[in-house]
Amino acid sequence: MIITVTMNPSLDHAYFIDHFSPGIVNRFQTPRKSIGGKGINAGRAASLSGAKVIISGFLGGDLGQIVGRDLKDENLFELMMLPVSEETRRAITVMHDGNVHTEIVESGPEVSDEQAFHLMNEIKEKLNKENASVITINGSVNSNNKHLYKDLLKYIRTEISNEIPVLMDISGEQLLSLLESDEYKPTFIKPNIHELGELIGKSIPSKEVAIHEMSHSLFNDIDYIMVSCGAEGALFKAGDIYYNVEIPTIDIINPTGSGDATVGGFAYALEEKYSIEDTLKYAMACGMSNAQHAEVGVINKHDVELFMNQIQVKQYKFEPTKAIG
C-alpha cells in the first residue's frame, strides 16, 4: 500500500480563448475542470500501475466537496481527506494566443501545525492496522511554518516508522529547510532541473552541469536523488553512484504532471522491489505515458512496459572533466 499526502489540492479550471486581453472583458466557454494536486496525481499513476493507494490531505467548502466526490467517483484509491473550514483552492489556467498559458492560482486554506500533525496521526492509526510500503509527500503547503515538512518527516521517523521509504516531491523553502537539517532525511527527492538551480542558487543549463551539482553537500545522506529533465529524461544519484537516464523522443499531448506520475511510478517500483535500474525505467516511463494523456497523472501500463525497453540507464563515472554519455 502507498500513502500519498496532498496538503493543498485544487479544483483546476482550464479556459481556452484565441486571444486574451488584460484590462477588458474576455468571454469564455465553460471551462474544463479537473482535480489538481501532486500527491493525487502521483497516487493515480501508482494506482493505475496496480498498487493499493490511499490519498490523504485536506478538503474544505463547496469546492472541497466537489473534489472529494470526483476522487471517489474515480474509484482508484481510498480517501483520507480531512475537512478544513476554509475552501479548497481554485486554480485557473487560460490558454491563449497559440501556446501561452496564463495562470491564476489561489493560495488555498492555511494548514496549521495542529491540523498537519492530526493528519499524520490519522496515517499512524491506519498503519497500526495495515502495512504500507511507501509514504509520499507531494507539493506545496500553505503554512506559516517554513519548517513544517521537516517537522512532519521527523514525526514519521519517530512516531510511525524509521524504516518506511518517504518520498518528498516538494520545492522552495520547505525543501531547503528539509535539506539544511541534519536531523532526518527523506528517502527520495525529485527536484526538476530548474528547481535544482533554485536550490543551489545557480542556473543549470544542461544535464552535464546538473550532474556535477548533485554532489552538493545539501544532498548528503539522502538515499535517492532524482533530477528530472523533461523530454531529456533524468539524472539519478544513489549513494556514490550516479546515473544518466535517457528516454526516446515521443509524441506528447500534455506533459503537466509528468513529474508527479514519475514519483507515483517510483513509489510503485519501490513497493514491487524492482532493481534500481528497473525502478528508474518504470518511473521515467510513467512520466512519458502521462505526457501522452490529456488528463494528469493518467498512465497506460501497457505503454509504460513498452517504453521501459526503450529507456537507457547508464552509470556515470563522476569525474569533473568527463562528458555525459
Residues that bind ligand ATP (CB under 6 A): 192, 228-231, 233-234, 247, 250, 252, 255-260, 262, 284, 287-288, 291
Say if CB 208 and CB 248 are below 8 A apart: no
- Which residue's CB is nearer to ligand ATP, number 151 or number 260? 260
Q: What pairing do the DSSP bridges indicate for beta strands 188-189 and 224-228?
A: parallel
CB of 72 to ligand ATP, least distance (A): 24
Sorted by sequence, the CB contacts under 8 Å of residue 78 that are 6+ apart come out as 52, 53, 54, 55
Q: Which residue of the chain is nearest ligand ATP when measured via CB?
A: 259
**In terms of DSSP H, where are the helices of 201-257?**
207-213
Residue carrying C-alpha cell 517537522 = 151
- Which residue's CB is nearer to ligand ATP, number 94 or number 160? 94
CB of 192 to ligand ATP, least distance (A): 4
- Which residue's CB is nearer to ligand ATP, number 127 or number 204? 204
Say if CB 104 and CB 91 are below 8 A apart: yes
CA distances from 216 to 96, 106, 212, 309 (A): 40, 34, 8, 32
- Which residue's CB is nearer to ligand ATP, number 184 or number 268? 268
Neighbour-count burial of 230, counting CB atoms closer than 10 A to its CB (0-12 exposed, 13-18 middle, 19+ buried): middle
CB of 124 to ligand ATP, least distance (A): 28
CB of 320 to ligand ATP, least distance (A): 24
CB of 121 to ligand ATP, least distance (A): 29
- Which residue's CB is nearer to ligand ATP, number 86 or number 295? 295
